[in-house]
Amino acid sequence: MSVRLKIDGAPVELQRAYSSIRVHAPSFVGFYADVSHLTADQDHRLELVLPTLAPGQFQGVFFDNVEDEFTDALAAAQ
C-alpha cells in the first residue's frame, strides 16, 4: 500500500504498525510517524495521500500522548 504524508509541506517518514511484536501481515493495523518535532500551539497542515479506499475504511489521523484537540477542517484533494 502506497501512503505518503507531508506536514507543512515537508515529507514525513511513515512506519508500518502491527499488533504483534514482529512483522506479520495479518496483524497490520496502520502507519505511524514520529512528529515530536512539531511546535505546540501552532497550526500545522497535514497532507495525506492514500490509495482508493472503501467507504468507511479511513478512520482518521490519531495522536498519542498529547492533549486532546479537534480538527476544524478536513477536505479531499481535488
Among all chains, which residue has been given the C-alpha cell 501481515? 25
Please, are residues 47 and 6 in contact by the beta-carbon 8 Å criterion? Answer: yes
pLDDT tens digit string along 43-58? 899 999 999 999 988 8
Half-sphere exposure of 73 (CA within 13 A, CB side): 8
Please, are residues 14 and 50 in contact by the beta-carbon 8 Å criterion? Answer: no
pTM value is 0.71
Pairwise pLDDT comparison (24 vs 75), residue with the higher score: 24
**pLDDT, position 48:** 93
CA distance readout (Å), 71 to 24, 46, 61, 74: 32, 11, 10, 7
Residue ranges of domains in the chain? 1-78
Residue 68 has pLDDT above 70, yes or no: no
Give the pLDDT mean for 11-28.
92
pLDDT tens digit string along 26-38? 999 889 999 988 8
